[in-house]
């Protein structure tokens, strides 16, 4: 077994698959541009780190359940009212999430509130790898009621508490029974909720 083969086996066993993929081309480039060992190693480490961030972002986006069409690029910012449009850069800094503040969006149906909130949440995943859940409020309340009936409410609340952001969509469309109000108040997670 050659040294290159054993190196590849070691890199694969360490889970450094991107380095394995980029290694040969990086050697060619390093020799052509006369890199030192440090720069060569740094380049390979950057490839691996970037791939891991990309993989994490993809996983977080998939788990978030944000509709695919809710992107900042597809958000027609010129049609937004002035205040939400002005607030957008501040919201995209994620400072309100770090402070534990809530963002509530109110307005008539079909005005783009869900898209606005979903686009912000998507950007916060992509920029800061925040853990997000985008869920219709009726579905969240149903999950809480089922968990309560199975005596699993504390476990569900613990899982929900691990999110940086919970986007509760269509809050106004939920009719609250006494039991729904009880589980909703019990779920007062101290995390940020982007609500519409």
Per residue in 101-111, pLDDT (tens digit) is: 999 888 888 88
What does the pLDDT read at residue 191? 42
What is the distance between the alpha carbons of residues 149 and 159, in angstroms, rounded to a whole number? 17
193 has a pLDDT exceeding 60: no
- With 0.85 as the threshold, say if the pTM is over it: no
Per residue in 18-73, pLDDT (tens digit) is: 999 998 899 999 999 999 999 999 999 999 999 999 999 999 999 999 999 999 99
Question: What domains can be seen in the chain, in order of their start residue?
Answer: 3-64 (no CATH), 77-195 (3.40.50.300)
For residue 136, what is the DSSP state? E
What is the distance between the alpha carbons of residues 18 and 21, in angstroms, rounded to a whole number? 5
For residue 127, what is the DSSP state? H
Per residue in 73-105, pLDDT (tens digit) is: 999 888 888 999 999 999 999 999 999 999 988
DSSP character string of 48-112: HHHHHHHHHHHHHHHHHT--TT--TTTS-GGGS-HHHHHHHHHHHTTHHHHHT--EE---STTSS
At 163, list the tokens. 């999110």
């Amino acid at each position: 077994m050659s040294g290159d083969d054993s190196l590849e086996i070691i890199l694969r066993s360490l889970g450094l698959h991107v380095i394995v993929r980029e290694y040969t081309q990086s050697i060619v480039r390093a020799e052509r541009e006369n890199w030192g060992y440090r720069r060569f190693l740094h380049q390979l480490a950057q490839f691996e780190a970037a791939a891991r961030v990309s993989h994490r972002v993809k996983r977080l986006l998939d788990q978030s359940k944000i509709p695919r069409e809710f992107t900042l690029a597809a958000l027609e910012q010129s049609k937004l009212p002035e205040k939400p449009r002005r607030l957008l850069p501040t919201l995209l800094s994620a400072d309100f999430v770090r402070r534990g503040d809530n963002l509530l969006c109110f307005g008539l149906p079909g005005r783009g509130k869900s898209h606005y909130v979903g686009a912000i949440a998507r950007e916060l995943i992509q920029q800061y790898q925040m853990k997000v859940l985008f869920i219709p409020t009726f579905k969240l309340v149903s999950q809480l009621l089922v968990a309560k009936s199975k005596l699993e409410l504390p476990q569900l609340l613990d899982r929900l508490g691990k999110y940086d952001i919970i986007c509760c969509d269509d809050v106004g469309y939920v009719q609250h029974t006494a039991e729904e109000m009880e589980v909703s108040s019990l779920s007062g997670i101290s995390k940020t909720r982007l609500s519409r």
